[in-house]
Amino acid sequence: DKRIVFEEASAGDVWWGKVNTKLKYESFLTNRERAVDFLNLQKRLYVVDGFGGWDEKYRVPVRVITSRAYHALFMQNMLVPPQDDELHLFERTGEDKPFVIF
């Protein structure tokens, strides 16, 4: 199942049903807080930076933070690795910040 934050602006773009279920924004914030609290209690974390997509015009910077090595390894295989001169793209804030998965 995927839970997607329900927003009026994008509600018509999502195929709602058994797989894509609506999530209130307040519930999202609660879930995110629990995830961050869990990660803060772990002895070791793995961070993977990469791009979703090869085309520089459309690719999205993605940062994955996980407590499990095999999740990090999987995401290293799924994302396009950044070059050394692109690492600064994962430290940005505001509108240009990377998409974060934890």
Sequential pLDDT tens for the chain (102 residues): 688 999 999 889 999 998 999 999 999 999 999 999 999 999 999 999 999 999 999 999 999 999 999 999 999 999 999 999 999 888 877 777 889 999
Residues 94 and 47 in one domain: yes
Residues 6+ apart with CB under 8 A from 69: 46
Residues 93 and 51 in one domain: yes
pTM: 0.81
Other C-beta atoms lying within 10 Å of the C-beta of residue 15? 7
Residues 34 and 51 in one domain: no
Residues 53 and 102 in one domain: yes
Residues 66 and 77 in one domain: yes
* Cα–Cα dist 70/84, whole Å: 24
Per the structure, how many domains does the chain have? 2
Q: Which domain holds residue 7?
A: 1-41
Residues 67 and 102 in one domain: yes
Residues 70 and 31 in one domain: no
Percent helix, strand, coil in the chain, to 5, is 40, 25, 35
